[in-house]
Amino acid sequence: MKDSHLVMMKINSNMTKNKIKTEIKKLKFLAEDLMEIPYGSIDSNCRKKEFVMARIATSAFLIFEVGFNEEQARKFIKRDRTSFYHYKKKHLDYMQSSKNFPKYYTFYNKLVDTYMIDSKRLFKKRKSFEFYFEIEKAKNQQKEIDRRLKELALEAKRIGL
């Protein structure tokens, strides 16, 4: 019974990760569509202005709207952690001086509005993402407890208890 419980926990954990990955792919697709750039451009190494702007906006959305930290965002968008510090700084600069960067300001707001209109979106609000990671954390803790119980049971058998 314990083994089936562990298998179900692993399946649920993978399902949660897959749902988050799918949702981020949907967000990247939406950003690329709104910016009218080729699909897959956000993950590319190209430094064209439109590609970078879409990459910054998508990263900023994950950090500011969803609640990811830089380390978590790094796992879903193929960039190193320090890139996210740069994206975060650029996003704040662009949003504070919207008159100097109207294209980015308009694009980011359109991205947020378009995503939030979707009734099937996974990230309804900031709490929904935190909730998914709390579940993930609890499942990992449960795995550790189950693993430790199994070790203790084996040790008890060895000493004859």
Contact 135, 84 (CB under 8 A): no
Number of domains comprising the chain: 1
67-119, pLDDT tens digit by residue?
A: 888 888 888 888 888 899 999 999 999 999 888 999 999 999 999 999 988 88
Contact 105, 98 (CB under 8 A): yes
**Distance between alpha carbon 136 and the CA centroid of its chain, in Å?**
13
Lookup result for tokens 């399902």: 15
19-48, pLDDT tens digit by residue?
A: 888 889 999 999 999 999 999 999 999 999
Confidence (pLDDT) at 1: 43
Inter-CA distances, 81 with 9, 24, 75, 146, 147, Å: 29, 17, 9, 33, 32
Parent domain of 19: 2-159
Both tokens of 104, joined, read 């980015």
142-160, pLDDT tens digit by residue?
A: 999 999 999 999 998 998 8
Confidence (pLDDT) at 74: 86
Cα angle 7, 9, 14 (rounded to 5 degrees) comes to: 95
Give which of 51, 70, 67, 79 is closest to 128, Cα–Cα.
Answer: 67
Q: What is the domain-level CATH number for residue 47?
A: 1.10.1750.10
CB atoms within 10 A of CB 5: 11
